[in-house]
C-alpha cells in the first residue's frame, strides 16, 4: 500500500514538474517571440524608410495587450501610373493614401515553437471616412487585410490582401462624377533578420476609372517582383526584379493612348569588387494621339562598375535629396563622382536595341563603351579619348526616318496642311539619305542606312582600318 502511494506520489511529482517546466518554457518562448517580433517590426520600419513613396507614421507594439497599432501613408510620385488618377480624385497635385488600424497578436507558446509554426499578427486596414463616402458600392469596411507571420530567429513575411470595388464614384460624398472598378489585389514582402528586405511581390489584375469629359483609364495585369534583394544603407546593391504590365489605355482631354506588354527586368550582383547589372526593357504595341506609334521595342543593357562607386552614388543621391548640398554644387559633385568611377574602369553595353513602328519600319543596333583606369590628369583635354574604346552598330529604315521627321514637323506646326508636311518631309529625308551616302562612316543599301564603327585609342576604325581621330569627327560635327 505504502509502495503504491509512493509510486503515485512520484508520478504526480513528475507531472507537476513537467507541467511547471512546460509552463516555464512556454513563458520563455512567448517572451522570446515578443522580442523577436519587436525586432522584426523595427527592421520593417527601417526598410520602409528606403521606399520613397511609403511612410510609416506609427508602428507600436503593446506586449501586454497583444496588439500592434499602425498608421501608414502612400504618396505616389509624379511618374507613378497611380499619381494622375489619384490627383484627379483628390483635387491636389500631391495625392496620398493613408491607413491606420490595430493588429491582434496571437499567443505563441512552446507547442507552436516546437512545431515550427510562425508567430502571427493580423488586422485590417479600414477605409478612411472621406474615401468611403465617395465609394457607395463598398461591400467591406476595409480596403485590405494585413498579416505579419514571424518565425522567431528567422524571417518575417508580410502579406496584404486587398479588396475590390465596382461601382459609382462620388465627389464629396454627394455628386456622382463617374465610375470606378478594380479587382482584388495582393502584395507581400519577406524580411530576414539583419539582412533586411529580401523579397517584395505585388499584383493588381485590373483597374478602371471613368470620369466623363475628363478621363478614362484602364490598367490590366500590373505585376511587380523583387527577389534575392540585398539593401545596404537604403541602396539596392543586389537583386532580381521585374515590372510587368499587360496593358494600359486611356483618354485624357480627348487625347487617347494605348500600350501593351510592358516588361522591365533587371539582375544586379556584386562580385570581386564590381557591380554588374543586366537590364532589359520590352514593349509591345504602343499608340498615342497624333503619332504613328510602335509595334515593338526591345533593349538589353549591361553595366559593369566599381561596386564602391555605386554605393557612393547612392549616398550622394540621398544627400542631394535631403538638401545637404547647394544646388549650384550638385553638377560638380556628380562630375567628380563620374571621374572617380571611371578611374576604376567601367563598361556600358547596349547589347541589343530594336524598334519597329506600325508600318514595319525598324531601327536596330548595339553599343559598347569601355573606360580604362583613367588618371585624373587625363580628364583635361583630348587625351581622355585614348582611354575610351567601344563599338557602334546601327541600322535604320528610310521609312522610320521619314515618319520621325514628319511627326516632329507636325508637332512644331500643328496647323500646317498635311500635304505641305508630306512634301517637306520627303525633301528633307532625301537630303539626309544623300548626305549619308557621301559621309564615309555610313553605308546606304536600298532604303536602309547602316553604321558600323569601332573606337580604339582615340581613333575611329571602320572595317579594321583607322579612318579618323575622334577629335576630328567632333570638330566636323560642331562645324
Domain ranges of the chain: 1-150+157-178, 385-479
H helix or E strand, kind and range, residue 120: strand 119-126
Local confidence pLDDT in tens for the 479 residues of the chain: 445 544 444 444 333 333 333 333 334 445 556 676 777 777 777 777 766 777 888 888 887 887 888 888 888 888 776 777 677 767 788 888 777 777 777 665 444 444 456 677 788 888 888 888 899 999 998 888 888 887 766 778 889 999 999 999 988 778 899 999 999 999 998 887 667 788 999 999 999 999 888 889 999 999 999 999 888 776 788 999 999 999 999 887 778 889 999 999 999 999 999 999 999 999 999 988 766 778 899 999 999 999 998 888 888 887 887 788 888 888 888 888 888 888 888 899 999 999 998 889 999 999 998 887 777 777 766 667 777 888 999 999 999 999 999 888 988 888 889 999 999 999 999 999 999 898 888 889 888 999 998 988 778 888 888 888 777 777 766 65
pLDDT tens-digit series, residues 225-278: 999 988 877 678 899 999 999 999 988 777 888 999 999 999 999 999 999 999
Grid coordinates standing for 466? 583607322
Q: How far is CA 370 from the centre of its chain?
A: 27
Closest CA to 76 of 59, 66, 90: 90
Name the CA radius of gyration of the chain, rounded.
31
Q: Give CA–CA dist 271/250, Å, rounded.
A: 44
pLDDT tens-digit series, residues 138-165: 999 888 888 888 776 677 888 999 999 9
Q: Give CA–CA dist 276/140, Å, rounded.
A: 47
In 10 A of CB 289, how many CB atoms?
13
Q: Give CA–CA dist 350/281, Å, rounded.
A: 11
Q: Give CA–CA dist 441/457, Å, rounded.
A: 18
Amino acid at each position: 500500500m505504502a509502495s503504491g502511494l509512493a509510486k503515485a506520489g512520484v508520478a504526480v511529482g513528475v507531472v507537476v514538474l513537467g507541467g511547471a517546466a512546460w509552463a516555464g518554457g512556454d513563458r520563455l518562448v512567448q517572451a522570446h517571440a515578443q522580442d523577436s517580433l519587436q525586432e522584426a517590426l523595427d527592421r520593417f520600419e527601417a526598410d520602409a524608410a528606403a521606399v520613397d513613396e511609403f511612410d510609416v507614421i506609427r508602428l507600436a507594439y503593446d506586449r501586454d495587450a497583444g496588439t500592434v497599432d499602425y498608421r501608414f501613408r502612400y504618396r505616389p510620385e509624379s511618374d507613378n501610373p497611380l499619381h494622375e488618377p489619384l490627383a484627379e480624385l483628390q483635387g491636389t497635385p500631391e495625392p496620398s493614401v493613408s491607413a491606420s488600424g490595430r493588429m491582434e497578436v496571437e499567443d505563441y507558446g512552446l507547442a507552436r515553437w516546437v512545431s515550427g509554426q510562425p508567430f502571427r499578427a493580423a488586422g485590417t486596414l479600414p477605409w478612411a471616412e472621406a474615401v468611403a463616402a465617395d465609394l457607395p458600392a463598398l461591400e467591406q469596411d476595409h480596403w485590405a487585410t494585413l498579416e505579419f507571420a514571424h518565425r522567431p530567429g528567422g524571417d518575417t513575411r508580410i502579406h496584404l490582401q486587398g479588396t475590390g470595388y465596382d461601382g459609382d464614384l462620388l465627389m464629396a460624398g454627394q455628386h456622382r462624377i463617374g465610375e470606378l472598378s478594380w479587382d482584388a489585389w495582393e502584395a507581400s514582402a519577406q524580411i530576414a533578420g539583419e539582412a533586411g528586405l529580401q523579397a517584395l511581390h505585388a499584383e493588381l489584375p485590373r483597374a478602371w476609372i471613368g470620369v466623363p469629359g475628363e478621363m478614362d483609364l484602364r490598367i490590366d495585369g500590373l505585376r511587380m517582383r523583387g527577389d534575392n534583394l540585398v539593401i545596404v544603407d537604403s541602396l539596392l546593391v543586389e537583386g532580381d526584379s521585374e515590372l510587368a504590365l499587360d496593358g494600359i489605355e486611356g483618354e485624357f482631354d480627348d487625347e487617347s493612348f494605348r500600350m501593351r506588354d510592358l516588361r522591365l527586368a533587371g539582375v544586379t550582383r556584386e562580385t570581386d569588387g564590381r557591380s554588374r547589372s543586366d537590364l532589359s526593357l520590352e514593349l509591345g504595341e504602343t499608340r498615342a494621339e497624333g503619332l504613328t506609334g510602335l509595334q515593338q521595342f526591345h533593349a538589353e543593357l549591361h553595366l559593369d562598375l566599381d561596386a564602391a562607386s555605386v554605393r557612393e552614388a547612392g549616398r550622394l543621391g540621398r544627400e542631394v535629396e535631403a538638401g545637404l548640398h547647394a544646388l549650384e554644387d550638385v553638377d560638380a559633385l556628380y562630375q567628380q563622382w563620374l571621374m572617380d568611377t571611371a578611374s576604376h574602369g567601367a563598361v556600358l553595353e547596349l547589347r541589343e536595341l530594336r524598334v519597329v513602328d506600325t508600318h514595319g519600319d525598324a531601327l536596330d543596333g548595339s553599343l559598347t563603351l569601355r573606360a580604362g583606369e583613367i588618371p585624373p590628369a587625363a580628364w583635361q583635354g583630348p587625351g581622355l579619348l585614348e582611354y575610351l574604346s567601344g563599338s557602334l552598330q546601327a541600322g535604320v529604315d528610310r521609312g522610320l526616318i521619314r515618319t520621325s521627321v514628319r511627326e516632329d514637323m507636325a508637332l512644331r506646326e500643328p496647323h500646317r496642311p498635311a500635304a505641305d508636311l508630306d512634301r517637306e518631309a520627303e525633301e528633307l529625308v532625301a537630303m539626309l539619305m544623300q548626305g549619308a551616302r557621301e559621309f564615309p562612316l555610313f553605308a546606304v543599301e536600298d532604303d536602309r542606312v547602316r553604321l558600323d564603327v569601332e573606337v580604339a585609342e582615340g581613333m575611329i576604325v571602320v572595317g579594321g582600318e583607322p579612318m579618323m581621330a575622334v577629335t576630328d569627327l567632333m570638330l566636323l560635327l560642331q562645324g
